[in-house]
Amino acid sequence: MRVLVVEDEPGVAAFIEQGLTEAGYAVDRARDGEEGLDYALAADYDLLVLDIMLPRKSGLHLLKELRAGGNETPVLLLTARDAVEDKIKGLDAGADDYLVKPFAFSELLARLRALLRRPPLQNGTILLVSDLEMNSATRQVTRAGLPLELTPREYALLEYLMRHANQVLTRTQIAEHVWNFNFAGDTNVVDVYIGYLRRKIDGEGALPLIHTIRGVGYQLGAEHSGA
Ligand code: CA
- Ordered by start, the domain boundaries in the chain are 2-116, 126-220
Distance (Å) from CA 52 to ligand 1 centroid: 6
In a structure prediction context, what are the per-residue pLDDT tens digits for the chain, which is 227 residues long? 999 999 999 999 999 999 999 999 999 999 999 999 999 999 889 999 999 999 999 999 999 999 888 888 999 999 886 677 888 888 888 888 989 888 999 999 999 998 887 654 444 577 888 899 998 878 899 998 899 999 999 999 999 999 898 889 999 889 988 987 666 667 889 999 999 999 999 987 788 999 999 988 999 998 776 54
b/e burial code for range 103-125 (CB count within 10 A of at least 16 → b): eeeeebbebbeebbbeeebbeee
Distance (Å) from CA 51 to ligand 1 centroid: 6
The β-bridge partners of 29 are 5
User: Residue 210 to residues 99, 126, 165, 199: CA-CA distances in angstroms?
Assistant: 37, 19, 10, 10
Distance (Å) from CA 214 to ligand 1 centroid: 46
The β-bridge partners of 81 are none
Phi and psi at 100, nearest 5°, equal -90, 130
Phi and psi at 37, nearest 5°, equal -65, -40
Q: What is the dihedral of CA 57, 60, 63, 64, to 10 degrees?
A: -100
Phi and psi at 22, nearest 5°, equal -60, -30
User: Residue 157 to residues 44, 70, 88: CA-CA distances in angstroms?
Assistant: 16, 27, 35
Distance (Å) from CA 113 to ligand 1 centroid: 23
Q: What is the pLDDT of residue 123?
A: 46
How many residues can be counted in the chain?
227
Closest CA to 96 of 74, 114, 120, 117: 74
**What is d(CA 99, CA 1) in angstroms, rounded to the nearest whole number?**
20
The 10 Å Cβ neighbour count of residue 185 is: 10
Distance (Å) from CA 79 to ligand 1 centroid: 8
Distance (Å) from CA 96 to ligand 1 centroid: 19
SS3 of 95, please? coil
Considering the domain 126-220 in this protein, what is its CATH number?
1.10.10.10
**What is d(CA 62, CA 101) in angstroms, rounded to the nearest whole number?**
19
Which residues have beta carbons under 5 A from ligand 1 (an ion)? Answer: 8, 51, 53
Domain 2-116 has CATH 2.60.40.1930: no
Determine whether 86 is exposed, middle or buried from the number of CB atoms within 10 Å of its CB (0-12, 13-18, 19+).
Answer: buried
Q: For the whole model, what pTM was predicted?
A: 0.66
* Same CATH fold assignment for domains 2-116 and 126-220: no
Q: What is the pLDDT of residue 121?
A: 41
Closest CA to 63 of 16, 14, 72: 72
Which DSSP symbol is given to 207? P
Q: What is the pLDDT of residue 184?
A: 64
Distance (Å) from CA 41 to ligand 1 centroid: 21
Distance (Å) from CA 78 to ligand 1 centroid: 9
Q: Say what angle helices 188-201 and 152-163 make with each other, to 10 degrees.
A: 90
Distance (Å) from CA 8 to ligand 1 centroid: 5
Distance (Å) from CA 7 to ligand 1 centroid: 6
Q: What is the pLDDT of residue 222?
A: 85
Distance (Å) from CA 17 to ligand 1 centroid: 15
Distance (Å) from CA 151 to ligand 1 centroid: 34
